[in-house]
Amino acid sequence: MKFVNKLRFFSGIIVLLFLIGSYFIEIMVDSGVDSVTFDTLLGIIIFHNIFVLSFYILIACLLVLTGIKRIKIV
């Protein structure tokens, strides 16, 4: 088991956990006299673009899968 393969695997896991966790973190985006607007951290990171989110998920999954193939976890 090489260090680089473990690094790929765990970096993919970290990216996926960050994306999942950032969905639940709410940040105040705008506040007015009568209203306060909240958005999730994930929404702010991807700028409300589904293609950027799918790119992040694809990269994370590729890192995890290449790590699994080379580390022989399964």
Asked if residue 44 is part of any domain, the answer here is: yes
Q: What is the pTM of this model?
A: 0.58
| Strand, helix or coil for residue 39 | strand
Asked if residue 57 is part of any domain, the answer here is: yes
Q: What is the pLDDT of residue 72?
A: 61
Asked if residue 21 is part of any domain, the answer here is: yes
Q: What is the pLDDT of residue 10?
A: 83
Asked if residue 74 is part of any domain, the answer here is: no
Q: What is the pLDDT of residue 1?
A: 57
Range of the domain at 61: 3-69
* Tens-digit pLDDT string for the chain (74 aa): 577 777 877 888 888 888 788 888 888 877 777 777 788 877 777 766 777 778 878 888 887 887 777 666 54
Q: Which residues contact 54 (CB under 8 A, 6 or more apart)?
A: none
Asked if residue 10 is part of any domain, the answer here is: yes
| Strand, helix or coil for residue 47 | coil
Q: What is the pLDDT of residue 48?
A: 63
Q: Which residue has the tokens 């976890």?
A: 73
Asked if residue 62 is part of any domain, the answer here is: yes
Q: End-to-end alpha-carbon separation of the chain, Å? A: 13
Q: Report the number of distinct structural domains present in the chain.
A: 1
